[in-house]
Chain A
């Protein structure tokens, strides 16, 4: 009861004493968890080695500069692979994510009791595993190479795209669907006229956003042998070839900046 009588004056507070105390208690627990985690990390760090962090950083940076530009010749192919893994992976995942999203959305699912839980399971299991882990698994199944990376990116993206898309489907304006239903349209016509126009902006946004993320993710897939520029990165790191590492990082930065620019343009054009 937030209203308290005090000396005949009605005092109003947002929360009463009990919920106020609970809130403070929760903040206290949060701070406690933070301090405790900090301590665990600190205990497990060899501080002795941290003494020359600055020196080492400067040392590596100086050895990495300037980037070895001639190495570029060997990078064009892996960059092209990386781009293909990201793009094709996004397209494949969308082809699977769209039907899954329609099956998962409460207002379009054919059956809430059977189909919806299956669709949600697909989404959760795809999302719960990182694409690097998917790539590790797939490299041992289909062997190392671009194909493993492609499948890893596709599988990981299904859950992400389907989740965002089904949330968009659940938020549509039902009046428009009702109006199309009232004309005597079939289930599929209702989908094409009543639902799809409403989710198109969300779909475009999700697609380019995921493509953007996939470009970044596919740059590391090579670390586990799943194709792309990550392979060069890991071998350069292993041979302590710092000028090559700096070049690769620079290339990745440029690729990500370009993809960000493209996705912003596409989103702007479609919405």
Chain B
């Protein structure tokens, strides 16, 4: 279970990116974080694994307060939080396999990782994951040879091989085409269900979020302004999060898709 208590981030420029965010995410819950650009979505998930240091407040993962940990303790806890990025953030010049295995760095000593001598169990796990996402035959390709969707799958493998209890997912589909976006979202949500993982997914695409998640949190100017089920997202709520716009079309699109899904 992840608890965020009054998490606040003020950047040195004086911009208040997060103000007093309090959330509880039970084990195994997949949550979509929506909100306009600059609302603080990326800052929020980076404050959880402290890629960004929160100014005040706390993030508590299964009774361990991450915000007060020292460097060594923080590294141990980061292993339990897999992260998936918008631009995939794969190490472009390493192979797919090396990228996946880099998810084990927190568990492996320096020389073993330097010489790429990962334990056999890690290598087995990497092959299993690559097989699961359908990239087994790509294992020895360099990451920069892959397409966007394939890269994001490698990113997912890297996060999952950490054996995390929480996934932090930052705009996983923002650089992908609509079809690949859905496949990636479906894959992330399926994997979370298989492994009982909780996840926070930052996402721009409201319709896509509604399709796949059980809970939606709306962030606006660093504050939580909505917290509820995907079907509670009414035009009024969307206006509150994003501002005035004709929201009917967005919501209708989702309804139609649900019907299509039911017919098929």
Instruction: Assess whether B162 is in contact with A184, with CB atoms less than 8 Å apart.
Output: yes
Instruction: Assess whether A184 is in contact with B110, with CB atoms less than 8 Å apart.
Output: no
List chain B residues, Cβ under 8 A from A192: 110, 113-114
Given A183-B106, A188-B110, residue A193 in contact with residue B89 (CB < 8 A): no
CB proximity of B183 to chain A, nearest CB, Å: 21
**B91 contacts chain A at the CB level, 8 A cutoff:** yes
Given A189-B105, A193-B105, residue A184 in contact with residue B75 (CB < 8 A): yes
CB proximity of B44 to chain A, nearest CB, Å: 15
Binary CB contact string for chain A from 175 to 186 against chain B (1 if under 8 A, 0 otherwise): 110111111111
List chain B residues, Cβ under 8 A from A181: 51, 78
**B227 contacts chain A at the CB level, 8 A cutoff:** no
Instruction: Assess whether B162 is in contact with A194, with CB atoms less than 8 Å apart.
Output: no
A179-B151 Cα distance, complex, nearest whole Å = 13
Instruction: Assess whether A178 is in contact with B94, with CB atoms less than 8 Å apart.
Output: no
List chain A residues, Cβ under 8 A from B114: 189, 192
Instruction: Assess whether B89 is in contact with A175, with CB atoms less than 8 Å apart.
Output: yes
A192-B110 Cα distance, complex, nearest whole Å = 9
Binary CB contact string for chain B from 79 to 114 against chain A (1 if under 8 A, 0 otherwise): 101010101011111100010001111110010011
Residue in chain B with minimal CB distance to A185: B105
From A176, A184, A186, A201, contact of B91 by CB (8 A): A176
A205-B186 Cα distance, complex, nearest whole Å = 43
**B3 contacts chain A at the CB level, 8 A cutoff:** no
CB proximity of B148 to chain A, nearest CB, Å: 14
Instruction: Assess whether B49 is in contact with A182, with CB atoms less than 8 Å apart.
Output: yes
List chain A residues, Cβ under 8 A from B105: 180, 183-186, 189, 193
List chain B residues, Cβ under 8 A from A179: 83, 85, 89-91, 155, 158
From B113, B155, B168, contact of A189 by CB (8 A): B113
From A182, A189, A200, A201, contact of B83 by CB (8 A): A182
Instruction: Assess whether A197 is in contact with B102, with CB atoms less than 8 Å apart.
Output: no
Given A184-B106, A192-B114, residue A200 in contact with residue B93 (CB < 8 A): yes
**B76 contacts chain A at the CB level, 8 A cutoff:** yes
CB proximity of A200 to chain B, nearest CB, Å: 7
**A234 contacts chain B at the CB level, 8 A cutoff:** no
Residue in chain B with minimal CB distance to A187: B71
From A175, A176, A183, contact of B162 by CB (8 A): A183
CB proximity of B33 to chain A, nearest CB, Å: 17
CB proximity of A197 to chain B, nearest CB, Å: 4
Instruction: Assess whether B51 is in contact with A193, with CB atoms less than 8 Å apart.
Output: no
Interface extent on A, as a size class? 20 to 34
Most buried by B among A178, A185, A186, A188: A185
Q: Which of A196-215 contact B (CB under 8 A)?
A: 197-198, 200-201
A198-B144 Cα distance, complex, nearest whole Å = 12
A189-B104 Cα distance, complex, nearest whole Å = 11
List chain B residues, Cβ under 8 A from A200: 93
List chain A residues, Cβ under 8 A from B104: 183
List chain A residues, Cβ under 8 A from B85: 175, 178-179
CB proximity of A188 to chain B, nearest CB, Å: 5
Q: Which of B103-142 contact A (CB under 8 A)?
A: 103-107, 110, 113-114
List chain B residues, Cβ under 8 A from A198: 91-93
List chain A residues, Cβ under 8 A from B103: 183
List chain B residues, Cβ under 8 A from A185: 75, 102, 105-106, 113
Instruction: Assess whether A183 is in contact with B158, with CB atoms less than 8 Å apart.
Output: yes
List chain B residues, Cβ under 8 A from A193: 91, 94, 98, 102, 105, 113
Given A184-B106, A188-B110, residue A194 in contact with residue B91 (CB < 8 A): yes
Instruction: Assess whether A180 is in contact with B91, with CB atoms less than 8 Å apart.
Output: yes
Most buried by B among A186, A188, A198: A186
List chain A residues, Cβ under 8 A from B113: 185, 189, 192-193
List chain A residues, Cβ under 8 A from B106: 183-185
List chain B residues, Cβ under 8 A from A184: 75-79, 105-107, 162
List chain A residues, Cβ under 8 A from B155: 179
Most buried by A among B77, B113, B155: B113
CB proximity of B122 to chain A, nearest CB, Å: 12
Contacts from A to B (Cβ < 8 Å): 173, 175-176, 178-186, 188-189, 192-194, 197-198, 200-201
A-B contact pairs, 11 of them (CB 8 A): A173-B92, A179-B89, A181-B78, A183-B78, A183-B103, A184-B76, A184-B162, A186-B75, A189-B110, A197-B94, A200-B93
Given A175-B89, A193-B102, 9 more pairs with CB closer than 8 A? A175-B85, A178-B85, A178-B89, A179-B155, A182-B83, A183-B83, A184-B76, A193-B105, A198-B91
